[in-house]
Structure 1
Amino acid sequence: MTSVHCWQKSSYSGGADGNSCVEVAAVGGSVLLRESEAPGTELLTTPTQLAAVVRRARRVKPATAR
């Protein structure tokens, strides 16, 4: 069963019908994350922890396909 939080998608996720993105919801002082294709699975984190992940992701270059 999915939660009743106010989930938000990025504008880069393919629009309102895009199902291949991560959604976020603010809950008190925490942040919930979920995958659009698996909305029943949610990850709870803090804004500080999420910001650290985003900073790291911006610094790391993706591996090239071989």
Structure 2
Amino acid sequence: MEKVKINSEYIKLDQLLKYVRVADTGGQAKFLIKNGQVKVNGEIVFQRGKKLRSGDEVEVDGKKYTII
């Protein structure tokens, strides 16, 4: 599990996917999310603008990321 430090109150899901280089573009991030390939705290999420805060866990393609 990789820890991702953010310097703000939250980060949006699509921005996180680009930040950790799971997606190169916003379009790729949208595709992953809309196809149900992204889980937040164990549940599939279809909102690309979902706000992630410290303690949230994101899973994509078997890789896990924790927001700190």
Higher RCO by CA contacts (8 Å cutoff, separation 6 or greater)? 2
In terms of Rg, which structure is larger?
A: 1
TM-score (norm 1): 0.24
TM-score (norm 2): 0.24
